[in-house]
Amino acid sequence: MAPRLTNRQTEDNDAVIPLRFGDDPLLWASWLYYEEGLTQGAIAEQMGVSRPSVNAYLADARSRGIVNIDIAPDMFRTLTISVALRDHFNLQDCLVIPTHGDERSLIDRLGGAGAKVLARNLRSGDTLAVTWGRTVLSMADQISHPGLKDVRVVQATGGTTAQIPWTPEACASHLAKALNARAIPISAPAIVSSAKMREMLVRESVLAEQLGILAEADRIVMGISSLRPESTIHTSGFLEGGMQHSHYQDAVGSLTGRFISARGEPVIGPMHERTIGLGLDQLRAIPQRIAIAGGMDKVAAILAALRGGYVSILVTDIATGRGILNAEGYHDTTQRPTAQPDRALRPRTHVKKLINNPKDAVDETLRGAVLAHEHLIAPVPGSKRAIRAIDGPKPGKVAIVIGGGAGHEPAFWGYVGAGMADAAVVGNTFASPPPDPIIAATRAVDGGAGVLYIYGNFSGDVMNFGMAAEIMEAEGVKVRSIITTDDVASSPRETRSARRGVAGTVFTFKIAGAAAARMLPLETCEALAKHTNARTYTMGLALEPSSLPETRQPSFELGPDDMEIGVGVHGEPGVERRSVELADTCADLLLDRVLEEMPATEGDEVALLVNSLGSIPNSELYIVLRRVRQRLKARGIGVHCSYVGSYYTSLDMVGMSLSVLHLDSEIKSLLEHPCRSVVFSS
């Protein structure tokens, strides 16, 4: 819609502003320039003013915020320096700005760039920690992000001398005000007179509460200080007196008031026990750590911070960035982006996912799971991939530790709780956890009566749980391992021990959990779990493949009318491909394979699990269950219970599996034993 303009000009060339622009010539000029694409000369003619006036109008319009010129961080990121920094230091992101630009100081321009980066990353509900210094204050004074809700801005350290304008309090309060957030101070000095004083202060409830909020930070935005005399760390009153220097001669920089060496290692000196605020280990544990720092004097300090892994997003300038890279022996010509496979022919280039950074997906899932079920499960301290039951360990009870790759949710943490497993360990997506978290889980739940590991038969799990078992045995903990093999499709009957362990494994979790809850000895629990596994049969099928968060590509290709029979739970193809059949035909196909092997006679009872592999609607699972029940009834086999839903998934695979547990009186009684976990509860 073009504004009507020219015919409104009067004889004496005194233009009338069209109504839509009110009486605002700035808005009118901006519209013509940015929306209509007219030259400044043409605008001058239309508006009846001189060209310099138009120029002034446009500059005014920018400064008054009528026009926002955003330079997208994406464009900056393409600069080779930022890409090289990001790749070399394994950063989440990196923004490099020109070292020389407009009349603003480097600090202000870094502050402006930092404000853009923070605004991009900040989310409603975040707890944001903030340090202090010139750059940080400049960032706080330039940020604008309307529309955020429930943000908390917390000081990363106690307060400093008021002789500088960029104190921790000022930085936090300016930032909180700009973000319409709640400001949480740290009501103590950053440096106190003695370690004893610190001990006393941190026990004060007000300060303890504030430090508790600091420990919940989702992000931190921070400066990096060099150790030169005019640096923030000096002017803030740290390092007072010449004698301090001898303790800090290895230090090249400072973060959150702590000192680091050229290799990024903490330098512990006399100030350490007297500092109130975020420690370096705590800093590294914050999921997103945005550092804003530049200037050649800071190259060593920034490099040290990068080497130490304290930074996940870096905002700096080209000269500093190049200095850092040169110090690392980087040469512009050696880094070439690796070729991506050509996917141009596919109508879609990737599977849609509701994730953030793919590399965070597993940890973020676990964090959410633990929060959703905090009354049942909690992480094992120091090991975020190991989850234990809230109550436990119970002295004298056999402990059950289960696990495998991620991507099978609600497996494996869904089977942790009273009467179920005591701990679950999760690896990367579809990859076994390494021995370390398995060992941490084992130690956390060992009640002195031995530990039973239960996991599916996959080479990675067998190796890693096997190594963990060896290490625990060497520590004197008795460990037995049950490797489940319920997947009928994966190997012939004669080589049953080579079969995969899939959804039917949850029956083994349940029975072993009940046996342990009844305080049966390790050998008995082991025998019962083995017995259950031997009587469990699973067959699966997929209509569509799954896709990994990292690749976002289908893990195999299925034709428009094909389905895959005998799929596993890792997106690997199945054993046979055929045309999609009616639900009843599919149910028969799966059940017939199970009945071929299960020596059930009339009058026997089974437990059923009709399990979603991730993305099939529940309605279709019930259609299949109905058919399975019809068939079993016709054969005279009783169904003691039917579980229908997501029990052991394969990310977003559209598919299902049928597991049948051939009951006997002992298994049936253990199946009914009370339990309380996310998935099974009775």
Residues annotated as catalytic (active site), given as ranges: 408, 570
Q: Report the DSSP pairing between strands 417-418 and 423-429.
A: unpaired
* Vertex 268 angle, CA 266 and 273, to 5°: 120
Q: What count of other Cβ atoms lies within 10 Å of the Cβ of residue 162?
A: 10
Picking from 313, 319, 322, 321, the residue whose alpha carbon sits closest to that of residue 292 is 313
CB closer to other proteins out of 48 and 266: 266
Q: Is 287 exposed, middle or buried (0-12, 13-18, 19+ CB in 10 A)?
A: middle
d(CA 256, CA 190): 10
Given the structure tokens 């370690």, which residue do they identify? 195
Is the link from the previous residue into 165 a cis peptide, with omega within 30 of 0?
A: no
**Smallest distance from other proteins to CB 235, Å:** 30
Contact between 133 and other proteins per CB under 8 A: no
CB of 541 closer than 8 Å to CB of 589:
yes
Contact between 575 and other proteins per CB under 8 A: yes
Site string for other proteins, 359-378 (x = CB under 8 A): x-------------------
CB of 487 closer than 8 Å to CB of 493:
no
CB closer to other proteins out of 221 and 351: 351
Contact between 463 and other proteins per CB under 8 A: yes
Distance set, CA 199 to CA 202, 211, 283, 632 (Å): 6, 13, 20, 69
Contact between 37 and other proteins per CB under 8 A: no
Q: Is 573 exposed, middle or buried (0-12, 13-18, 19+ CB in 10 A)?
A: middle
Site string for other proteins, 283-312 (x = CB under 8 A): ------------------------x-----
Q: Report the DSSP pairing between strands 562-565 and 576-579.
A: antiparallel
Helix H segments across 518-642? 522-534, 583-597, 618-635
Contact between 187 and other proteins per CB under 8 A: no
**Smallest distance from other proteins to CB 679, Å:** 24
**Smallest distance from other proteins to CB 81, Å:** 17
Contact between 467 and other proteins per CB under 8 A: yes
Which residues are 456's β-sheet partners? 484
**Smallest distance from other proteins to CB 288, Å:** 18
Q: Which of 29, 201, 489, 590 binds other proteins (CB under 8 A)?
A: 489
Contact between 615 and other proteins per CB under 8 A: no
CB of 317 closer than 8 Å to CB of 97:
yes
**Smallest distance from other proteins to CB 322, Å:** 17
Q: Which of 232, 481, 533, 555 binds other proteins (CB under 8 A)?
A: 555
**Smallest distance from other proteins to CB 554, Å:** 9
CB closer to other proteins out of 38 and 402: 402
Contact between 238 and other proteins per CB under 8 A: no
Stretch of 94-102, 141-149, 535-543, 545-553 lying at the interface with other proteins (CB under 8 A): 545-553
CB of 156 closer than 8 Å to CB of 278:
yes
Distance set, CA 630 to CA 276, 621, 626 (Å): 69, 14, 6
Residues whose CB is less than 8 angstroms from the CB of residue 119 and which lie 6 or more positions away in sequence, other chains included: 143, 144, 145
| Residue 495 three-state SS | helix
Stretch of 483-491, 531-539, 593-601, 636-644 lying at the interface with other proteins (CB under 8 A): 483-491
Contact between 261 and other proteins per CB under 8 A: no
Q: Which of 279, 460, 521, 645 binds other proteins (CB under 8 A)?
A: 460
Contact between 431 and other proteins per CB under 8 A: yes
Q: Which of 90, 144, 194, 682 binds other proteins (CB under 8 A)?
A: 90
Task: Give residues 371-430 in contact with other proteins (rule: CB under 8 A).
Answer: 405, 427-430
Stretch of 192-200, 231-239, 440-448, 572-580 lying at the interface with other proteins (CB under 8 A): 572-580
Stretch of 11-19, 103-111, 496-504, 518-526 lying at the interface with other proteins (CB under 8 A): 496-504
Q: In what order do the strands lie in the sheet with 562-565?
A: 576-579, 562-565, 536-544, 654-662, 605-612, 638-645
Picking from 465, 429, 467, 409, the residue whose alpha carbon sits closest to that of residue 615 is 409
Task: Give residues 327-356 in contact with other proteins (rule: CB under 8 A).
Answer: 328, 338-341
CB closer to other proteins out of 573 and 645: 573
**Smallest distance from other proteins to CB 260, Å:** 14
Contact between 614 and other proteins per CB under 8 A: no
CB of 659 closer than 8 Å to CB of 486:
yes
Contact between 85 and other proteins per CB under 8 A: no
**Smallest distance from other proteins to CB 436, Å:** 5
**Smallest distance from other proteins to CB 435, Å:** 7
Contact between 432 and other proteins per CB under 8 A: yes
Determine the size of the site formed for other proteins (CB under 8 A).
47
**Smallest distance from other proteins to CB 131, Å:** 24
Question: Could you tell me where the beta strands, DSSP code E, fall in 172-238?
Answer: 182-184, 219-222
Q: Which residues bind other proteins (CB under 8 A)?
A: 88-90, 263, 307, 328, 338-341, 359, 405, 427-436, 458-460, 463-464, 467, 487, 489-491, 498-500, 548, 550-551, 553, 555-556, 568, 570-573, 575
